Amino acid sequence: MQQPVSSAPATVHEVAAALIAQAVQSDRQTLDSAALQTLLGALGCATASQSEPSHADVQLRVSLKHSREFGHVISAGLGGLDGELDASHFCKGRSTAQALAAMSSGQDFLQRFKQTVAWQKLLLSAQRQQQPAPDEQLILFFDRLLELSAVDKPGMPFMLQTLELTLHLSQGQLVASQAQCTLAKPPAERLPRPIAKIDKLLHPASIGLVGVSATSMNFGRIILRNLVGSGYPKTQLTVIRPDDAEVDGVPCVASLKALTHKLDLLIVAVAADAVPALVDEIIASGNVESVMLIPGSLGETKKSVEPAALLAAKINAAHGRADGGPIFLGANCLGVVSHAGHYDSWFIPLERLPKPQKKPQRNSVLLSQSGAFMITRLSQNPWLDPLYMLALGNQTDLTHGDLLSYFAQRPEIETIGIYVEGFKDGDGLHFAKAVRSAILAGKQIVVYKAGKTAPGSAGVMGHTASIAGDPELFEAVMKQAGAMVAEDLNSFDDLFYIAGALHHKKVGARLGAISGAGFEAVGMADAIGSDNFSLQMGQLQDATVKQVEEILLAKKLAALVEVRNPIDINPGADDEAHLQITEAFVLDPNIDAVIVGLDPTAPSVRSLQSSKLRPGYDISDPKSTVQLMPPLVARYDKPIIGIVDGGRLYDAMCDALMDQGVCVFRNCSRGTRALVRYCEARLYADTLRK
């Protein structure tokens, strides 16, 4: 038999706080059965008799857990035997709904829960019993559960670590058959970093360097050459070196104490074992606003973990000073490229990684724990062209959350791409809040998380001393905050690129697909869905069908093509046919975006840099796609994506289009999937802003 529910006090928060206080007084880190009974009553749950096992159609497993990175996380999914199934047996997001408690309401979390198999089973069970869907009961319960996340207060000896419940519905009432609640000591908190000083890091009026060789091309010397080569004035540079008057025309001083001015930025490129003493000197001098720690081996190996922790503690303590102390980027840090600050401090020679401007105006940022990640992305994709590129390394001081919080408020930044290996304690929550802040400010966030497998997690720890964390939780939280989450490196490249290309376009869920190749039109249609979202092929209006028929008739293709969406316009179509039909689709009010295969191998398309068979019939021809498509794309606020599915012979065509702001992909499925993921995130961001 079910036991009656006692009347609850004013709030769940008050009940939980009292129960936790009682447990602390009794020196217990769990709630006993009586306390659990009281807590369940406050949550609005009845309790099943221990002698009466549940035979409900659907059992749920619901929890509120404090995670190391994100604070309290609410989750709900299948319970009982179903809950023991491995999550890999389900499509992504279908096993368990997870969300940040700090960003959730009962209504919001219910919408996430409705994507799970558990919800589908609940709904089917209710329909069989001719009962309404249990929305109201679940929203109320989730709201009460979320109240518990506000119980923890600074200075409390214990916090709510885990509340796990097994529930079922009985006559419209939530009934708990199992419950467990544990407490834990709260993690130590770091002092807030003075993130306003990031401005000094990015736009320094003065830069100093430690570790520059006067006789060899070591990392410090390469950095000095890159600073000068990228246009930073020698008059604003200082080398900290006791034995020389100058290096490469840059004056030297013997020590930080010998400086006659305060440095906005100090770049440290010495051996790892010299860093602790140097950091002591930096903090004591008061002559430095921001520091870049290049050396590795600070926390990545077992021997270096303890020294790295002591180093971080010293830096953290300095933030308690009235001026906030200096900020530190790194260690194990490639450095910074700041086009706005007119400097490049990467230790990659400029001849190996030229940074030409591919956009009329740089408006993106790339943040990465791995410097090599940024190098390869930029080398392969020069159209990404960020205004700032920063390597975080080990996050000894500045974290993902700190840097994203800074850039979220920069009005000139539109798109931010981030490579994450792991978060410092609590910084995942800080980062998620910064993502949401950036989204509400109209920006776009693309993030890739490394360490999704056991070997990958081990590699993350060895690279930047980071704990990889739960990749499924990471993805759920980032999507909740409003970010686009890339599942692999190609997906990151695609999303970061398409976000920059389409930021100022309006988006919707209805697609128009055009190609002269049948497989391509079908490939676009087959790629319009993701795990929990799909575009639809828009229904062409009669006026659009008539207009396209007239274009085909004029191009002598009418007998070969049936007008539909997606449409295969035949390999005989020339550049004008492709683009005239594209414009007709764009003008249709039932179409929100157009993806068009530009058919570079078709004999009628002017796709070659130079044609030997038909001289002048190439991309320089006024009637070529390269000449006609950019103004078409600029004319409309709907996304238009070109597909150039061909080899190196057509690189010149792609380059010329992309240089003029046309969004181009080299594969129809990849381009369509990128658009689907982008539209999903943009539409969700629009709901957040509303």
Q: Identify the pLDDT of residue 51.
A: 37
Confidence class for position 53, pLDDT limits 50, 70, 90: very low
Does residue 1 belong to any structural domain of this protein? Answer: no
Compute, in degrees rounded to 10, the torsion defined by CA atoms 427, 433, 437, 440.
140
Distance between CA atoms of residues 639 and 650, nearest Å: 23
Q: What pLDDT, on a 0 to 100 scale, did the predictor assign at position 507?
A: 97
Which one, of 486, 451, 447, lies nearest residue 471 by Cα?
451
ω into residue 196 within 30 of 0, thus cis?
no
Q: How far apart are CA 554 and CA 341, in angstroms?
A: 55
Residue 540 pLDDT class (50, 70, 90 cuts): very high
pLDDT at 216 over 80: yes
Q: 92 is in which domain, residue-wise? A: 12-184
Tell how far CA 177 is from the center of its chain. Answer: 38
Determine how β-strand 536-537 pairs with β-strand 484-486.
unpaired
**Nearest to 349, CA basis, from 218, 153, 479, 178:** 218
Q: pLDDT, tens digit, for every residue of 318-337?
A: 999 999 999 999 999 999 99
* Residue 158, pLDDT above cutoff 90: no
**Domain identity same for 496 and 510:** no
Report residue 502 as tokens. 């389409």
Per-residue pLDDT at 8: 43
Residue 642 sits in a domain of what CATH number? 3.40.50.261
- Helix (H) or strand (E) holding 123, with range, is helix 117-128
pLDDT in the model for residue 80: 76
Q: Which of 536, 495, 539 is nearest to 671 (CA)?
A: 495
The answer to whether residue 33 sits within a structural domain is: yes
Neighbours of 247 (CB within 10 A): 19
Residue 357's pLDDT band (cuts 50, 70, 90) = confident
The verdict on 514 and 629 lying in the same domain is yes
Residues 199 and 171 in one domain: no
Q: Which residues pair with 568 in a beta bridge?
A: 515
Q: How many domains does the chain have?
A: 3
pLDDT of residue 1: 40
Listed residues 501, 519, 550: the one ending a domain? 501
In a domain, 6, yes or no: no
In a domain, residue 2? The reply is no
Residue 545: pLDDT band with limits 50, 70, 90: very high
H or E element, residue 515: strand 510-515
CATH for 32:
3.30.470.20
pLDDT of residue 307: 87
Over residues 635-664, the pLDDT tens digits come to 999 999 999 999 999 999 999 999 999 999
pLDDT for the residue numbered 187: 85
The predicted model gives 110-114 an average pLDDT of 96
| Mean local confidence (pLDDT), 610-617 | 92
Instruction: Output the pTM of the full model.
Output: 0.92
172 and 267 share one domain: no
Q: What percent of the chain has pLDDT over 70?
A: 92
The CA dihedral of 310, 314, 315, 320, to the nearest 10 degrees, is 140
Band the pLDDT of 468: cuts 50, 70, 90. low
376 shares a domain with 251: yes
CA distances 180 to 33, 61, 241, Å, are: 9, 12, 61
CA distances from 562 to 536, 545, 600 (A): 20, 10, 22
- In angstroms, the Cα distances linking 166 to 47, 101, 159 are 10, 19, 22
Centroid of chain to Cα 86? 26
Distance from C-alpha of 152 to C-alpha of 310, rounded to nearest angstrom: 28
Same domain, 308 and 225: yes
Q: 329 and 313 in one domain? A: yes
Average pLDDT over residues 349-358: 83
In a domain, 112, yes or no: yes
Domain for residue 3, yes or no? no
- Same domain? For 107 and 27 the reply is yes
Q: Residue 621 above 70 pLDDT?
A: yes
- Interhelix angle 33-43/135-147, nearest 10 degrees: 130
Does residue 310 share a domain with residue 256? yes
The answer to whether residue 455 scores a pLDDT higher than 80 is no
The residues pairing with 515 across neighbouring beta strands, listed in sequence order, are 568
Q: Which of 501, 533, 550 represents a domain boundary (last residue)?
A: 501
**N residues, the chain:** 690
Domain boundary among 138, 154, 184: 184
In Å, the largest CA–CA distance within the chain is: 91
* R_g of the chain, CA atoms, integer Å: 29
Half-sphere exposure of 263 (CA within 13 A, CB side): 29
pLDDT over 80 (residue 462): no
Residue 453 predicted with pLDDT over 90: no
